[in-house]
C-alpha cells in the first residue's frame, strides 16, 4: 500500500488486511516502495499494490511510469485508490497494463470484497 496520508493508510490497511492472503507492506512515499520492489522483486512472485495518485516527491502516475518501463512490470498488479473523481484520471489509468482497478476513496469492506471478482487479482484474496 502506498499513500502519503498516514490516516488513509491506516484505515485502508484495517479494511484490506483481513481480506487478503498476506499482510501488506505500507509506504508513505512511492519512491520507497519502488526501491523495495527493485531490490526484492522476483519474476515468480506476484505483487498487488494499492496506490494513491496524489503524493509528494513521486506521484502515482510517476510510480506507474517507472514500473511500466522496467522489468518490474511482470506480475505486478495495481489497484488505484484515490480521492480523484476526475474521469481523465480513470481513463489515464486504463492506459497502464498493470492497473487492475480504480477505486475512489473512501473505501469500505464491500468495495474491497468486490475486487475478488476481478480475475486478474482474485488470487490475492482469501
Instruction: Identify the pLDDT of residue 107.
Output: 93
Asked whether the beta carbons of 34 and 66 are under 8 A apart, the reply is yes
Interval 11-49: pLDDT, tens: 999 999 999 999 899 999 999 999 999 998 888 889 999
Instruction: Identify the pLDDT of residue 7.
Output: 95
Alpha-helix runs per DSSP H in the chain: 6-16, 30-40, 60-68, 87-93, 109-115
Give the pLDDT band of residue 66 (cuts 50, 70, 90): very high
Please give the class, per CATH, of domain 6-124: alpha beta
What CA–CA distances, in Å, run from 80 to 42, 77, 92, 109, 113? 22, 10, 11, 16, 15
Strands 99-104 and 76-82: parallel
Average pLDDT over residues 54-59: 96
Residue 102: strand, helix, or coil: strand
pTM beyond 0.85: yes
Kindly state the percentage of the chain with pLDDT values over 90. Answer: 85
Distance CA 27, CA 1 (A): 6
Please report, for the chain, the start and end positions of each structural domain, with discontinuous segments joined by +. 6-124
Interval 70-115: pLDDT, tens: 988 888 999 999 999 999 999 999 999 999 999 999 999 999 989 9
Asked whether the beta carbons of 27 and 50 are under 8 A apart, the reply is no
Interval 68-80: pLDDT, tens: 999 888 889 999 9
Amino acid at each position: 500500500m502506498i499513500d502519503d496520508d498516514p490516516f488513509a493508510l491506516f484505515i485502508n490497511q484495517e479494511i484490506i488486511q483481513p481480506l487478503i492472503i498476506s499482510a501488506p507492506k505500507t509506504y508513505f512515499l512511492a519512491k520507497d516502495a519502488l526501491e523495495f520492489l527493485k531490490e526484492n522483486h522476483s519474476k515468480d512472485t506476484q505483487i498487488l499494490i494499492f496506490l494513491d495518485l496524489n503524493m509528494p516527491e513521486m506521484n502515482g502516475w510517476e510510480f506507474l511510469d517507472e514500473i511500466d518501463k522496467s522489468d518490474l512490470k511482470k506480475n505486478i498488479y495495481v489497484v488505484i485508490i484515490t480521492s480523484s473523481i476526475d474521469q481523465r484520471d480513470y481513463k489515464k489509468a486504463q492506459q497502464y497494463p498493470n492497473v487492475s482497478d480504480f477505486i475512489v476513496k473512501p473505501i469500505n469492506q464491500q468495495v474491497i470484497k468486490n475486487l475478488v471478482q476481478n480475475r486478474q487479482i482474485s488470487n490475492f484474496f482469501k
